[in-house]
Amino acid sequence: MKERTLHSDDKLKQSNEKSSLVLFNDNINTFDHVIKSLVEICGHDPVQAEQCALIVHFKGSCEIKTGLKEVLYVMSKSLNAKGLNSKVESL
């Protein structure tokens, strides 16, 4: 078995694991509210936000963003504060 040296970069990679932000359907929010929230919080362009809103509506959920877990938690908290139902899941 080959030895491997642990570098400080390895710790950073472990703490910054990739995750996905998932948005769930509800019967409360309008398409316009969902689209505006995705543009404002997640940086989607309006077409991308509309497509995500439609997928959520018809399929029940949609992976709206992937990235670092810490960043996605902040986005999820902001979306939830706007009345949307989102969750960060590990990949």
Domains along the sequence of the chain with CATH: 18-90 (3.30.1390.10)
Per DSSP, the three-state class of 72 is: helix
Average pLDDT, rounded, for the chain: 89
Say what the pTM is.
Answer: 0.82
Residue 84 clears pLDDT 90, i.e. is over it: yes
CB 21 within 8 A of CB 70: no
Residue 82 has pLDDT above 60, yes or no: yes
Of 14-18, 46-50, 51-55, 81-85, the range with the lowest mean pLDDT is 14-18
Largest CA distance in the chain: 57
Dist. CA 52–CA 63, nearest whole Å: 8
Looking at residue 8, what DSSP letter applies? H
pLDDT for the residue numbered 64: 98
Please determine, for residue 79, whether its predicted confidence score (pLDDT) is greater than 80.
yes
Helix (H, G, I), strand (E, B) or coil at 77: helix
53 pLDDT more than 80: yes
